[in-house]
Amino acid sequence: MLPNIYHSETTTEFIRRINSLTGNETPLWGKMNVGQMLSHCCVPYQQILGENSGRPPFILRVLMQWFFRNSMTNAKPYQKNLPTGPTFVRTGYHDIHEERIRLISYLERVSQLGPEKLADIPSLSLGKLSSEEWSNMLYKHLDHHLRQFGV
């Protein structure tokens, strides 16, 4: 069972890990730098809060719902070097300080929504999710990328 994103302890621990990033870390896998990773990790929260409405094409959404939904929302950690959806790709310069502030703000806002309100918001890729599926997916994604940079 994964930590629950609705618990303040989980949010506090994520914030501690995010704040421990210096920008000098080398990724243990993948191509992103720290600023790009932080920006990338903002995307699901932006989608939840209606700030980013970039949806995958219909056929990709169907494939994701049928073939990847379980692996994205269960309690098993993500594998290294998985492909990144086009709306999540980040290239170029992303200021670490600004992205850190944005991500922490998003974490706090979504955590405060609570399980019932979050479960009412469909995923742009996977459709309707339970509060546990949302918690697992958000926890796994952020944890995966923080581990990518050794924190």
> Which tens digits make up the pLDDT trace of 91-121?
999 999 999 999 999 999 999 999 999 999 9
Q: The domain spanning residue 38 has which CATH number?
A: 1.20.120
Please calculate the CA angle 24-136-44 and round it to the nearest 5 degrees: 60
Give the span between the Cα atoms of 12 and 129, in whole angstroms: 24
Are 29 and 81 contacting, i.e. CB atoms less than 8 angstroms apart? Answer: yes
Residue 1 lies in a domain: no
Domain count of the fold of the chain: 1
Q: What is the DSSP string of 25-55?
A: PPPSSSS--HHHHHHHHHHHHHHHTTS----
**What is the rounded average pLDDT for all residues in the chain?**
91
How many CB atoms lie under 10 A from the CB of residue 112? 11
Partners of 123 in beta bridges:
127
Q: Residue 111 domain-assigned?
A: yes
In a domain, residue 2? The reply is no
Reported residue count of the chain is 151
Residue 73 lies in a domain: yes
Which region among 47-51, 85-89, 105-109 has the lowest average model confidence (pLDDT)? Answer: 85-89
The one-letter amino acid at 15: I
> What is the span of the domain harbouring residue 108?
8-148
Does residue 130 belong to any structural domain of this protein? yes
Helix, strand, coil share (%) of the chain residues, nearest 5? 60, 0, 40
Is residue 25 situated within a structural domain? yes
- Whether 72 is in a domain gets the answer yes
Q: Is residue 3 part of a domain?
A: no
